[in-house]
Amino acid sequence: MNTPVSFELAKLLKEKGFDIPTKKYYEYALKSKKDKEDGYSGSFGWKKGELNLQSDYFQNNSKSDFTSEMWYMCSAPTIAEVVMWLYEKHGIWITVTSISQESWQCHMTKKGDSLGKCYLEDFYNPTEAYEAAILYTLNNLI
């Protein structure tokens, strides 16, 4: 639960309004400083197309967004932070349970509204199940 979500989920969360300061953030180099493909981008000297997980920036700069034509930045919240944000902001709670030692399922419920049997199953670990539930929730319930 204290694992940061994937970069793809972090980008989708940013689009859906996630703006809570986090301890980590992603920085993705969009362009090179030079026109060459092997050039470097950003102030950190990363290559075009390189993804990096960094620490402590967004926590200290709260809602700052330094996305530019050179790089894309977004917070990298933990699974627990996202689960709590979904509950507090949208009233959606995600539960992950073990079906067997090697199989996990997730269930989404919404405060004051019945989602019926809204669940996904057959994941190999809880992290995979939580990420699938978050993705489903962002794409289908918000």
Helix ranges, 64-116 (H): 79-90
Considering only CA atoms, give the Rg of the chain: 17
82 backbone dihedrals φ, ψ, rounded to 5°:
-70, -45
The full set of domains in the chain, from first to last, is 21-76 (no CATH), 80-140 (3.30.160)
Contact 134, 94 (CB under 8 A): yes
Helix ranges, the chain (H): 7-15, 57-60, 79-90, 126-140
pLDDT tens sequence for the chain (142 residues): 889 999 999 999 999 999 888 888 888 777 655 544 555 544 555 566 666 777 865 555 555 555 656 667 888 999 999 999 999 999 999 988 888 877 888 888 887 766 655 667 788 888 998 999 999 999 988 8
What is the DSSP code (8-state) at residue 6? P
- Structure pTM? 0.78
